[in-house]
Amino acid sequence: MYEAASEITTVGAGISVWKRTWTILKDLGLDIELAKKAIEPPVDAPKPGLTFRRSDQPEPGYNFYQMMNPYGAITLHRVDVVDVLRAKIPKSYPIYTSKRLQSYSRQPDGSITMHFADGSSAVTDILIGADGIRSPTRQSLFRAMAADDGVTDPAKLQAIDKETGPVWTGTLAYRSLIPAEKLESLYPGHQACRIGMAYLGKNKHIVAYPISQGRLINCVPFSTVVGGEGTTFNGKWVADVSTQEVIDCFSNFEEEAQALTKCMEDPTRWAIHAMTPLPHYASGRVAIIGDAAHAMATHLGAGAGQAIEDVYILGRLLAHPSATLDKAPDILRIYERVRLPFASGVAAECAATGYLYEFNGPAYGGAECEGLRELGKQIEKQWEWHWTKDFREDWRRAETLLSEALG
Ligand SMILES: Cc1cc2nc3c(=O)[nH]c(=O)nc-3n(C[C@H](O)[C@H](O)[C@H](O)COP(=O)(O)OP(=O)(O)OC[C@H]3O[C@@H](n4cnc5c(N)ncnc54)[C@H](O)[C@@H]3O)c2cc1C
């Protein structure tokens, strides 16, 4: 494993995990330790999910829809997830930090040479690019495929980079963890100290839910720049900003929502980028997974779960007793066949849900409570795949394709 950063860690914030992903974590034997870190372990029974509230008004807003999660969700601190995973990596598996991949090249014997920013290189049989939304593995992959098609014109190659690269969704997300005590003292009885809340308004919304056994509130205010979708974001994709910037952005929201922005400490601002669906996730002995393959809008809390699905399918295929190195290209293609259509579908649903949250979707029936309840139902439908589509079917399909490919 080669990591660009100087240590294996993550940006400290919360993450929601849903039934599909939980099934995998259970299969991997990680559920017990992760459940201990959660505010409460997932239950196999209906449980309240996010509560939707109209908030873009000076007077107190109102809760208009209570989403139910038939199989519950689990909310975790990202650092806790990384700690649990890191502790499971066998000591014999080398991890190299401060190794930023720049590109790779294919060798005549089929092996792959990785080229790093510090001038060093290393050789591998199979390369799995899990290098996030700006993935250099992805860029090299599509350039290699273009080379196979005889494309050498630099302008054409640049156009390919652009087509297969991320685009700005037009949305800015502010992220910070709030100590529950601080919120409670500013706004006694604040709902986000107990339950997951979504404070909705025109072109803006705030998602807030308790994590770390209720000691912290994960708070993510979103603001959409009208006309920004698909344009180039000028500026740093992730920047430290002042709390005042967030307060100003949500100054037209009710007091309960503003209490959250006032309590945010050292917020960061993320320009949310996403990928348009790629035609491929693999070529030869190279594959991309996670955000490198399908970075998506955040509105269904799905990106990390989709990355974990990729890893599980690909990992089990590669670890299959009949898998051999000469079959690696077939195996990576099976991973692509199973995962690409599903992840592309999820990405489309994520984008559509963002419009609904910010009163821009076709289901917006007006500001009145009745219209908003209809909107709530539509939003709930967007989430249902998390618990109605069985992940194990995807694995069974992958296994069938593998048996066919290996004869
Ligand atoms: C505001 C927000 C809220 C979210 N909430 C949720 C949620 O609730 N649930 C959910 O499932 N998902 C959520 N997501 C999405 C989720 O965070 C991402 O989909 C997930 O982190 C993708 O994981 P990844 O490993 O593919 O990429 P990343 O998390 O970006 O990790 C990439 C890794 O590769 C390293 N790297 C990068 N470039 C190189 C290089 N050149 N060489 C070597 N190493 C490199 C990086 O340092 C990093 O360690 C959210 C995202 C945002 C922005």
Q: For ligand 1, say whether the CB of 369 is within 6 Å of any of its atoms.
A: no
Grade residue 119 by pLDDT with cuts at 50, 70 and 90: very high
Tell which residue, 117, 123, 120, has the closest CA to residue 100: 117
Token duo for residue 79: 């650092």
Alpha carbon of 322 to ligand 1 centroid (Å): 32
- Percent of the chain at pLDDT exceeding 90: 82
d(CA 336, CA 283): 9
Is the pLDDT at 363 greater than 60? The verdict is no
Token duo for residue 109: 């014997």
Token duo for residue 200: 């909705």
2 CA: nearest ligand 1 atom: 43
Q: For ligand 1, say whether the CB of 290 is within 6 Å of any of its atoms.
A: yes
CA distances from 301 to 165, 312, 327, 354, 404 (A): 21, 18, 34, 11, 34
Indicate where the chain has its CATH 3.30.9.30 domain(s): 168-274
What is the CB-side half-sphere exposure of residue 144 using CA atoms within 13 A? 20
What is the CB-side half-sphere exposure of residue 292 using CA atoms within 13 A? 23
Alpha carbon of 349 to ligand 1 centroid (Å): 19
270 CA: nearest ligand 1 atom: 53
For ligand 1, mutation pick of 6, 211, 291 (most atoms within 8 Å of CB)? 291
Token duo for residue 321: 């007793």
Q: CATH for 168-274?
A: 3.30.9.30
Residue-wise pLDDT for 172-197, tens only, equals 999 999 999 999 999 999 999 999 99
Q: For ligand 1, say whether the CB of 310 is within 6 Å of any of its atoms.
A: no
Token duo for residue 404: 């066919």
Residue type, 298: T
Alpha carbon of 49 to ligand 1 centroid (Å): 24
What's the average model confidence in pLDDT over 50-71?
Answer: 92
**For position 368, what pLDDT does the model report?**
66
Tell which residue, 216, 192, 177, has the closest CA to residue 55: 192
Q: For ligand 1, say whether the CB of 174 is within 6 Å of any of its atoms.
A: no
Q: CATH for 100-165+276-406?
A: 3.50.50.60
What's the average model confidence in pLDDT over 78-100?
Answer: 93
Shortest-distance Cα residue to atom 7 of ligand 1: 301
Phi, psi for residue 263 in degrees, rounded to 5: -90, -5
**For position 362, what pLDDT does the model report?**
65
CA distances from 268 to 12, 186, 219, 224, 358 (A): 11, 22, 11, 16, 21
Please state, as a whole number, how many other Cβ atoms lie within 10 Å of the Cβ of residue 333: 18
**For position 251, what pLDDT does the model report?**
98
Tell which residue, 276, 266, 250, 262, has the closest CA to residue 350: 276
pLDDT averaged over every residue in the chain: 93
Tell whether the torsion through CA atoms of 95, 99, 104 and 109 is positive or negative: negative
Grade residue 295 by pLDDT with cuts at 50, 70 and 90: very high
Partners of residue 4 on adjacent β-strands: none
Indicate where the chain has its CATH 3.50.50.60 domain(s): 100-165+276-406
Write the DSSP string, 147-187.
HHTT---HHHHHHHHHHTSEEEEEEEEEEEEEEHHHHHHHS
302 CA: nearest ligand 1 atom: 11
Shortest-distance Cα residue to atom 49 of ligand 1: 3
